[in-house]
Amino acid sequence: MAEELEGKHGVQSLEIGMGILRAMANGQRSMMLKDIAAAADMPASKAHRYLVSLIRAGLVDQDPMTSRYDLGAFALNLGLVALDRLDRVRLGLNVIAQMRDEINQTTALAIWGDRGPVVIRWERPRRPITVNVITGTTLELLVTSAGRVFAAWMPKKIIAPLIAEELKRTSLPAELRSREAVETMLSQIRAQGYASTNGQHKVEGIESVAAPVFNFKNEITMALLVVGVQGMFDTSPAGEVVNSLRQYAGELSVRLGAHGEPKLT
C-alpha cells in the first residue's frame, strides 16, 4: 500500500531538489546559498542539505573560491541531450501555422540543403489572393529572403563558393554584382535581424521576408518566411509582418536553446 501511494504521489524530496535546480536555472548565473534558498522559498539550512546531494550527483557545482553554486556538468549534459532530441522541424511547422493564423499571410519553413536553403512546408492564408510556394527546390542565396538569411549567418567556407557562382550570373540586380555589395547587404541583414527581397525577388511581383532560427550552439538551423504580393504586403521594419516574423523566430530560437549572440565563422 505504501509503494502504491508513493507511486501516485511521487517522491517529495526529488521534487524539492528539482525546485532548487529550477531556481538556479532561472537565476541565469552562479548564486550564493541565501539567494538559492530565497528563490526556492525554503530555509538556507534545508537548501544546503539538498545542494550537498545535488553536488554528489553532478547536477550542481560549487566554486571553492567564491562559495557560489552553479549547474554542474551532468545538468548541462542533460540539457544538451534534451535539445538534441527536440524535433526542430516539427516545432518549426507548428510555428509557421501559428504565424499564418496571426498575420493571415503565406508562411513557410526553410532548412539548409546540399547547396542552399530548401522550403519544406508552407501554409496558405485565408485570403482571396495568395502566393503558392514551391517546396523541395533549392533557393538562390542572393535574390530570395531565405537565401539571404542563410548567407548572412552560415559559415563563410560554405557560403563563399556558392555566392561566387551566383555572382557570375548576369540576371542579378545591378546593385548586387560585386562581392563588396553582397557583403554590405549581408552586414545590414545581420544588424537588423531579418532579410527582405526589396523588390528583387526572383519572381516578379512577389515579395518575401525571412528571419533566422538558431540552435543551442547559436548556429542558424532554419529560416521562417512570409511571402506575399508586392504592393499588398507590408515589409516595413515596424510593420506587423516583420514584427511577427522576428518574434516567432526569436521564440523558436530560445526553444531550441539559443542564447547570446549568433555564431559567425
Where do the H-state alpha helices sit in 61-218?
A: 73-85, 88-103, 145-153, 156-166, 179-192
For the segment 83-121, what is each residue's pLDDT rounded down to a tens digit? 666 688 889 999 999 999 999 999 999 999 888 999 989
pTM, to two decimals: 0.69
For the segment 154-170, what is each residue's pLDDT rounded down to a tens digit? 999 999 999 999 898 87
Cell of 73: 556538468
Per-residue confidence (pLDDT) for residue 5, from 0 to 100: 43
Q: Is the pLDDT of residue 263 over 90?
A: no
CB 209 within 8 A of CB 226: yes
Per-residue confidence (pLDDT) for residue 85, from 0 to 100: 63
Per-residue confidence (pLDDT) for residue 2, from 0 to 100: 44
- CB-side exposure of 90: number of CA atoms within 13 Å? 3
For the segment 157-212, what is each residue's pLDDT rounded down to a tens digit? 999 999 999 898 877 787 888 899 999 999 999 999 999 986 555 567 788 999 99
For the segment 59-86, what is each residue's pLDDT rounded down to a tens digit? 999 999 999 999 988 888 787 776 666 6
DSSP category for residue 167:
T
Q: Is the pLDDT of residue 131 over 90?
A: no
Q: Which amino acid is at 250?
A: G
Domains of the chain are: 2-83 (1.10.10.10), 86-255 (3.30.450.40)
3-state helix, strand, coil in the chain (%, to 5): 50, 15, 35
Per-residue confidence (pLDDT) for residue 83, from 0 to 100: 63
Q: Stretch 41-62: mean pLDDT, rounded?
A: 94
